[in-house]
Amino acid sequence: MKQNWKPCAMVNPVPAVLMSCGDAPENYNMLTIAWTGTICSEPPMAYVSIRPERHSYEIIKRTGEFVINLTNEALAEATDWCGVRSGRNFDKFKECGLTPEKSSVVMAPSIAEAPISIECRVTQIVPLGSHDMFIGEVVNVAVDEQYLDPETGKLDLAKAKLITYAHGAYYALGEQLGTFGWTVKGSKLRKEIKHGRQKK
Amino acid sequence: MKQNWKPCAMVNPVPAVLMSCGDAPENYNMLTIAWTGTICSEPPMAYVSIRPERHSYEIIKRTGEFVINLTNEALAEATDWCGVRSGRNFDKFKECGLTPEKSSVVMAPSIAEAPISIECRVTQIVPLGSHDMFIGEVVNVAVDEQYLDPETGKLDLAKAKLITYAHGAYYALGEQLGTFGWTVKGSKLRKEIKHGRQKK
C-alpha cells in the first residue's frame, strides 16, 4: 500500500558530483551538485541545476563553462563540505586540500584528485523556479589513468569507489548485481526462459 | 595523471528507474531509464531523456505524462530486462510479473511493486540529438508504507534497498558514509576545526 505525499524531489539515488568553475585562479570554485545527470548520448550532454543565489551561479553564467568531477570515497568529506559552505566565504580548493588542475578544453579548472572530470560548455539555460538548469555539451572527458587497464586501456570504474547520494545520505556502492543486459545474455538467458519471457 | 577521452556520457553513478506510461491498460508500458534526475526543487521537477525510436516516446508525447518508479534489489532483474526489450514486442508488466497500479493524479500507471512512484506531467520537451528531454513537473509522490515509521511517518529509504547504475553495471547501495552536512555538524565539527576549515 502506498501513501500519497505532496510533490517533492524524490528521484533516488542520484550522483553527488563536485562541479568546478571559474576562469582564473582567484575565482575558481567548487560546488556539490546532486541535481545533475546525462541528458543526451549523441552529442553527449549533461546538466547541472543551480540556485541563482549560489556563488557558482554567476560564474557559470558569465563563463559558460563548468566541469563535472565524479566523486569517490576519498572525496566524500569534501563533497559534503562543499555542499554546505559558500565560495563567497571560503577558498574551497584550499580548505579541502584539493588541487585545481588545468582542463583540456575549457578555462574552468578540473579537480586533480577526482577520478573523472567531464568538461562542459553551456548551450542553454532553462529557468525552472528555485533552480536554473544549465545544459552543457560535453567537450572533453579526462580519466585518471590509475583506473585504466595498462594493457587494454579499458576503464575499470569499480576501482574508483564512486559514491552516490540518496535521501539525505552519502553511500558507497555495494555489491554488483549484474551488468547491462545480463537478463538476456549467456547463462542468465535460462532464467529468462524459465520466467516465460523468451519470445520467438 | 589523467588521460583525455573523446566526449561521452560519463556522469556516474546514476539512477536506474523504471518509467511507466500509457493511458489505458492495452498501451501501458515500462522503460528503464538512467538519463533521469531532479532538475528543480520548487516546484519539484524531474526529467527523463528518451530516444524517439523507443516505444514509450510516442506514448509520453501523446499523453504528456510519465511515472518515475524507483527500483530496488527485488526489481533489479526487471530493471535490466525492461532496458533491453521493447514494449512493441512484449507486455512488459506481464512478462516481469509486475502490477500496473492506478496512479493518484495522472492516467499513466504506477508500478505497485516499486518502493516509490513519482507522477509527472510534461511541461516541456527539449530535443537534443539522440535523445529528447521530457521535463516534467512532479504532481504526486506515492511511497510504500512499509518504508514509513508507523509512529513518526518518517521515510527510511535505506530499508528500500535501492539500486544504482554505474558504467554498465547495476549496484546495491553499500555503506552509509555520512548524512548531508555531517562535516559541519556535532562531533564532526571537531574534524572541521582540526582541518582548519572553521571560519569566524
Give domain A17-175's CATH superfamily: Electron Transport, Fmn-binding Protein; Chain A (2.30.110.10)
Residue B142 has pLDDT above 70, yes or no: yes
Q: Tell me the nearest-neighbour CA distance from B22 into chain A, angstroms.
A: 20
Q: Which residues of B are less than 8 Å from A181 in CB distance?
A: 80, 83-84
Q: What is the model's pLDDT at position A9?
A: 98
Chain A nearest-CA residue for B45: A9
- The distance in angstroms from the start CA to the end CA of chain B is 36
Give the ipTM: 0.93
Residue A188 has pLDDT above 90, yes or no: no
Residue A199 has pLDDT above 70, yes or no: no
Q: Where are the domains of chain A?
A: 17-175
The number of C-beta contacts closer than 8 angstroms across A and B is 339
DSSP string, B17-50: EEEEE-SSGGG-EEEEESSEEEEETTTTEEEEEE
DSSP string, B60-72: HHHH-EEEEE--B
Please give the average per-residue pLDDT across A165-184, as a whole number. 97
Q: What is the model's pLDDT at position A195?
A: 47
Q: Tell me the nearest-neighbour CA distance from B64 into chain A, angstroms.
A: 17
Query: How big is chain A, counted in residues?
Result: 200
Q: What is the model's pLDDT at position A114?
A: 98
User: pLDDT tens across A43-67, in order?
Assistant: 999 999 999 999 999 999 999 999 9
Residue B16 has pLDDT above 50, yes or no: yes
Which architecture characterizes domain B17-194 according to CATH? Answer: Roll (2.30)
Q: What is the model's pLDDT at position B186?
A: 63
pLDDT-derived band at A200, boundaries 50, 70, 90: very low
Q: Which residues of B are less than 8 Å from A2 in CB distance?
A: 101, 110, 112, 117, 142-145
Residue B79 has pLDDT above 60, yes or no: yes
Please give the average per-residue pLDDT across A161-183, as a whole number. 97
Please give the average per-residue pLDDT across B37-46, as a whole number. 98
B138, B183, B192, B200: which to substitute to probe chain A, counting the most A Cβ within 10 Å? B183
DSSP string, A120-155: EEEEEEEE-SS-EEEEEEEEEEEEEGGGB-TTT--B
Going from the C-alpha of B117 to that of each of A7, A110, B138, the distances in angstroms are 11, 36, 10
pTM over 0.80: yes
Rounded CA Rg of chain A: 19
- Return left, alpha or beta for A178; rule: phi > 0 is left, psi -120 to 50 is alpha, else beta: left
Please give the average per-residue pLDDT across A142-166, as a whole number. 96
User: pLDDT tens across B88-117, in order?
Assistant: 999 999 999 999 999 999 999 999 999 999
The average confidence (pLDDT) of chain A is 93
Q: Which residues of A are less than 8 Å from B183 in CB distance?
A: 77, 80-81, 84
- Helix (H) and strand (E) counts for chain B? 4, 12
Q: What is the model's pLDDT at position A186?
A: 64
Q: What is the model's pLDDT at position A148?
A: 97
Contact at CB, B199 and A90, closer than 8 angstroms? yes
Whether the CB-CB separation of B129 and A40 falls below 8 Å is answered with yes
pLDDT-derived band at B185, boundaries 50, 70, 90: confident
Residue A27 has pLDDT above 80, yes or no: yes
Whether the CB-CB separation of A130 and B138 falls below 8 Å is answered with no
pLDDT-derived band at A117, boundaries 50, 70, 90: very high
